[in-house]
Structures are given as C-alpha cells and as structure tokens.
Amino acid sequence: MPTFTSNDAQINYQTFGEANKPAIIFSNSLGTNFSMWQAQIDAFKNDFFVICYDTRGHGQSSAPQGLYTIDQLGQDVINLLDHLNVEKTTFCGISMGGLTGQWLAINYSARFNHVIVCNTAAKIGQEQAWKDRATLVREQGLQPIASTAASRWFTEHFIQRNTAIVTSLSNDLGASSAEGYASCCEALAKADLREQLKKIQVPVLIIAGAQDPVTTVADGQFMAEHIVGSQLFTIDASHISNIEQPEVFSKAVQKFIASS
C-alpha cells in the first residue's frame, strides 16, 4: 500500500473508488487501523473517492519517537489531502479520529464540506489516566490493554455474537506498536478543544453511542451545544459504533451528507 512522508512520520493510506467523485476520508480510533472502516469503504466507494489512513503510530504507519500532539495528528490529514491533491473533502473520524476531526474543523474549515465526529469528546478522559496508560504500555507492552479492550469497545451482546470480529481487532491491538500507542495516549492527555468548539463553521454531525462507557452521550451533547448548527445522532452501540452498527452508522452519515 502507498505511503507518504508527513513531517517525521511515514503515513500508510489507501484509496477506493474514482478520484473524480466527492472525497471522504476516514480516521481510525486508538489501537486500531484503517481496516476498521471496511463496512464504510464498501458502503461509500461507489459514490465517493474514499481515503483511509493509519494514524501515526498505528497500523502500517510509522511510530516516530517524541511528543505527539493533536495538532500533529490533524496536520497529517492536511498533508495527506495535499499529497493526493484533494482540495476539499468530508471527514469522518471515531474516538481519537473524532478528536482529530474537531481540530480540523476548528483550524481548517475551508478544506471540509462536512465533518462527522463519532464516539468522541472535546476532551477525552483525564490527563493523568492517559499518562498512566502510556507508562503501562511502555513497560508491559499492549497485551494487558488488548486483553480488556473488547469490553470498552463493544456491548456484551455484540461480543458474544461476533467472536471473530472482536478477536481480530484485539489481536491487531496486541500486535501494534507500543511506542505509537503510548505516544497517542500522550497526545490525548493534552488535547482539550472545549473552548474552541465555538469557532467551527463547517456542518458537523456528532454520533454518540447510547451504551458507550468511554465517550458518553453527554459528551456528544456538550459538543452539540457548543458547535453552531451541529446535529447529534445517537446510535444503539458502544464505543466502536461503526463496527457494531455498520448499516445504521453508514446510513446516518449518508443522510447527513445529502442534507447539508
């Protein structure tokens, strides 16, 4: 798969569909890679130029050592769009990717037709908890995190009925770069966009999981209250809602794009 250099990182990406169609770019959650979007790739590639990439430190992208920031994660997206000569696109990101989407909407609104932020918050979790997780991962690797990830990502109902999907995602996490994961934890520790949400002037859809214990419906409501003209859609899922409810998720995104 192709890669390009964004500052100090090699970013792995792939495109699907025809480049002359409207573009949409998908951004993965912490501890996953762009394969998490397979259902959306299939749903969108006939009508859109679909761009997927692995966030730095994830998947086949490199994991350079040093401080990661939300600014850096967002700039990687702009650099990828420039690399592909895509002037304007729709952005869809989940969890960490959703925080990246908020940063992009704040700082590069002219580059986006729509921004969809899913299972995310303007500030995710607590700073010290992220720092503690980064330390744990550097000391013990990703297996301790991977062994408990499913319970944070999915409802028990989904876990029991989709063993292969859950196992594959957990295995991907366990085999990921510990340094890349830890560095992204440190970026999340510092990222706080709550005071900047009012600057957003691009149409925003917020998707919140009704059973998400990580980024709650209340987090989604906070964003909706502070982003002018935004829409909030609640989905019956936990934290990785695009996999737990792929059809409902994709239809919500398609409807939003068509109506705004």
Q: Tell me the per-residue pLDDT of 161-203, one tens digit each, with 9 for 90 and over.
A: 999 999 999 999 999 999 999 999 999 999 999 999 999 999 9
Which residue's entry shows tokens 């991962």? 137
Phi/psi at 159 (nearest 5 deg)?
A: -60, -45
Check which CATH number belongs to the domain holding 123 and give it. Answer: 3.40.50.1820
Kindly report each contact of residues 154-159 with a partner whose C-beta sits within 8 Å and lies 24 or more positions away, as own/partner.
154/237, 154/238, 154/239, 154/240, 154/243, 154/244, 155/211, 155/237, 155/238, 155/244, 158/237, 158/238, 158/244
Look up residue 126 and give its amino acid.
Q
Q: Per-residue pLDDT tens for 80-110?
A: 999 999 999 999 999 999 999 999 999 999 9
How many C-beta atoms lie closer than 10 Å to residue 62's C-beta?
18
| pLDDT recorded at residue 1 | 77
Domain span including residue 187: 3-259
Whole-number Å distance between alpha carbons of 84 and 235: 32
Contact (Cβ atoms closer than 8 angstroms) between residue 155 and residue 119: no
Number of structural domains the chain divides into: 1
